Amino acid sequence: MAKFEERLHAGYGQTLNIDEVLFEYRTEHQDLIIFRNESFGRVMALDGIVQTTEADEFIYHEMLTHVPLFAHGSARSVLIIGGGDGGMLREVLKHARVEAVTQVEIDASVIDMCKRYLPNHSAGAFDDPRVELVIADGVDYVRESAKTFDVIISDCTDPVGPGEVLFTSAFYEGCKRCLNPGGVFVAQNGVAFLQLDEVVTTARRLGPLFADQCFYAAAVPTYAGGIMTFAWASDTAAPRQVDVVELERRFKVSGIRTRYYNPQVHAASFALPQYILDALAAG
């Protein structure tokens, strides 16, 4: 049986059986493979790193959308950077208050191939009239955009290859420029136990730019190695401090159905283990 061996961490990695290769291609930017695995369904990897699977994508996509959106409470405009598989877009569009979503993805072939071979991720989201799709570099977009947003979601790869620029101060400055007052920026930030440097580096870069900066976390099985952290930044602590009672109210009013997210999970996800807090304090 063919195996997919992930190459991301030094001396440690997950291996997935490849039951069937559905698509494999060297795009203009990266190596893309979509294959089927018995436990996780369809799996998409870029440059040898698992990006998303049918079985556990809901955890990641719900946590990077519903946490900032329910915390904000009245977001109308959302910017997604990356997210070519469309899972993030699908979750954002569940919020009826959201009037406009701009998605900026560098690699058009990821979108095309995911629409075709991972159709349950986008589930038609790219056809929603609220969506504007821009094929461009995220850093350029946030530097030049005339539009501003209530929530910005960076659904990036790890800081190697094309995704590296999405962890730079230049990118974070652009996001700050594109964020409305009271807006929230969130970003995928790696699995903390194995990528602790990433947490520290992100805090060092985002911290000086925003009045409120922190991380929240969730365990996503195919991002092997323990909990994944998500970076959070805003010009105000208010959205982070919304209490569970108010989150319950907002969630109920929305009518949104989720499989991982709920207001209790939302509130609890901001509690970080001590080894992360210590690393941040040592900075």
Task: Please report, as ranges, the residues that interact with ligand AG3 according to CB under 6 A.
Answer: 8, 49, 51-52, 83, 85, 87-88, 155, 157-158, 188, 190-191, 223
CA 62 to CA 32: how far, in whole Å? 24
CB of 80 to ligand AG3, least distance (A): 9
Cβ-Cβ contacts under 8 Å for 159 (sequence gap 6 or more):
166, 167, 190, 198
Of 58, 46, 61, residue with least CA distance to 164:
46
Of 242, 269, 201, 243, residue with least CA distance to 60:
269
Give whichever of 83 and 138 is closer to ligand AG3, judged by the CB atom.
83
Give whichever of 118 and 179 is closer to ligand AG3, judged by the CB atom.
118
CA 63 to CA 199: how far, in whole Å? 17
Give whichever of 196 and 265 is closer to ligand AG3, judged by the CB atom.
196
E-strand ranges in 6-123 read 15-17, 20-26, 31-37, 41-46, 49-53, 77-82, 100-105
CB of 159 to ligand AG3, least distance (A): 10
Give whichever of 64 and 247 is closer to ligand AG3, judged by the CB atom.
64
Q: What angle do CA 135, 82, 212 make, to 5 degrees?
A: 125
Beta bridge partners, 232, equal 186, 214
CB of 224 to ligand AG3, least distance (A): 7
CB of 30 to ligand AG3, least distance (A): 12
Minimal CB distance residue for ligand AG3: 223
Is residue 158 flagged as an active site residue?
Answer: no
CB of 228 to ligand AG3, least distance (A): 7
In the set 155, 212, 235, 278, the catalytic residue is 155
For 87-121, b/e burial (b = at least 16 CB within 10 A) is bbbbbbbbbeebeebbbbbbbebbbebbbebbeeb
Give whichever of 64 and 256 is closer to ligand AG3, judged by the CB atom.
64
Q: What angle do CA 174, 62, 84 make, to 5 degrees?
A: 55
Q: Which residues are catalytic?
A: 155
